[in-house]
Amino acid sequence: MNTNKIGITTTVPIEILIAAGYETIDLNNVFITSDKYEKYIDIAEREGFPKSLCAWIKGIYGACIYNDIKEVVGVKEGDCSNTEGLIEVLKLKGIKVHPFLYPNIHKLQDVKYSIDNFMNRFDVDLEEVEKTRLRLNKVRKLAREIDRLTYIDNKVRGFENHLYQISLSDFNGNVDKFEAELKDKIKEFKGRGTKDIKLRLGYIGVPPMTGDLYEYVEGFNAHIIYNEVQREFAFPRYDQCKNIYEQYYDYTYPYDIHFRLEDIKKQIDERKLDGLIHYTQAFCHRAIDDIVIKNKIDMPILNIEGDKLNTLDARTKLRIEAFLDMLIDRKEMSK
C-alpha cells in the first residue's frame, strides 16, 4: 500500500489514486488558498516561466516545488494547453509525473481506454476502483445537498457553494474528515434563514482567482447560485452512472464547449437564472469559448478576466456593477 502524497493539476479519476493508497492533493487548491500565492507565482517566474503565461500554471508549479511534492498527475489533454510544458519542467526537477488524457473525441470507448491505462499504471483493478467510487459518492451526495440548499432553499452563499464543491477534486486530502466537515456544514446551513434574492446569477468557466467576486455581487443583492465547473468537480450526476467509465464520460469540463453547453442550458432553466458571469483567465485558450457561449445562450452574459490578482480590480468592479444594474432594470421592465 502506497502512503505517498500525489499532486494533481486538475480533476482526474481520484478513485484510482485513493485505491492505490495515495493522499491526493489538488495543487490548484493549495495555490489559490495559500497566503503565499504570490510567492508560488514568483518561484515559477524565477525559474523562467514567462510573465505572459496563465497564473494558474505558474501557481501550480510553485505550489508543487515549495511543498516538496514528489509525484504529480498531469492532465495532458482535456484541460490546460500549457500543462504539457509544465510536465516537462517538473520532470526536469526530478518529480515523477503520471500523465492522464481526457480523449479529444467524446466517446465512451475512448474514455474507458484512458481510464484502463490509468488503472494499469497504478496497479489497481476495477473492483477496487468501483468500491472506492461508491465510497466517494456518499460524499458527493452531501455536496449535491449543499448545492440544493443554495439554489432552492437560498441558505448557502455563492462562495460557500463554490468552496465545498471545488474541494471534491481532492476531498481535501482526507475523505473521512471532509465527509464529517460537510455534514456539520449542512446542519449549519439548514439552521439559517432563507435569503431574499433579487438577482439569481450563474458563474461559468474555470474557478476564479478572484474569490471576492461572490461577496462583491452580494453587495447588490445578487447571488451566484450556480457554479458550473465547481459543480462538475463534485460529479452531481454520479448516481446516473453505472461505473467509473460512464462517470468520467458524463463529466462535462474536459470535453468540447457544445457538450458543456447542454448542461449549462439545463441549469439556467432549472435555477431560473437572470444572468451569467463568464470568468476567463488571462492567456488561456478557453477565453475563446466566450464567442461560442454568447452565440448559443440567449441571456445577458458578462465576461470578466482574471490574471495574477486574487481580488477584483476597480475596472472589473465597475463592469460588474453596471451589469447588475442592467439586469435589475431588465427584470423590473419584464414584470
Query: What is the band of 52 on the pLDDT scale with cuts at 50, 70, 90?
Result: confident
Q: Say how many CA atoms lie within 13 Å of 119 toward its Cβ.
A: 18
pLDDT of residue 1: 39
Cell 449542512 sits at which residue? 186
Q: Is-contact 9 86, C-beta < 8 A?
A: yes
Q: Give the architecture (CATH level 2) of 5-121.
A: 3-Layer(aba) Sandwich (3.40)
- Mean residue pLDDT of the chain comes to 92
Q: Please check the confidence at residue 259 and state whether its pLDDT lies above 90.
A: yes
Could you count the other beta carbons within 10 Å of the beta carbon of residue 215? Answer: 12
Q: Give the range with max mean pLDDT: 57-71, 126-140, 277-291.
A: 126-140
Q: Is this model's pTM higher than 0.75 or not? A: yes
Could you give the CA distance from residue 236 to residue 311 in angstroms, rounded to a whole number? 29
The alpha-helical segments, DSSP class H, found in 94-212 are 108-121, 126-151, 158-166, 175-190
Q: Please check the confidence at residue 80 and state whether its pLDDT lies above 50.
A: yes
Q: What is the CATH number of domain 126-334?
A: 3.40.50.11900
Q: What percent of the chain has pLDDT over 70?
A: 98
Q: Please check the confidence at residue 12 and state whether its pLDDT lies above 50.
A: yes
Q: Please check the confidence at residue 327 and state whether its pLDDT lies above 70.
A: yes
Question: Which grid coordinates are listed for 106?
Answer: 467524446
pLDDT of residue 184: 98
Could you give the CA distance from residue 131 to residue 322 in angstroms, rounded to a whole number? 50
pLDDT of residue 195: 81
Query: What is the band of 289 on the pLDDT scale with cuts at 50, 70, 90?
Result: confident
In three state form, how does the secondary structure of 74-109 look? EEEECCCCCHHHHHHHHHHCCCEEEEEECCCCCCHH
Phi then psi for 85, rounded to 5 degrees?
A: -65, -40
Domain with CATH 3.40.50.11890 in the chain: 5-121
Could you give the CA distance from residue 333 to residue 156 in angstroms, rounded to a whole number? 28
Domain with CATH 3.40.50.11900 in the chain: 126-334
The alpha-helical segments, DSSP class H, found in 271-301 are 289-296
Helix pair angle (175-190, 126-151), 10° resolution? 20
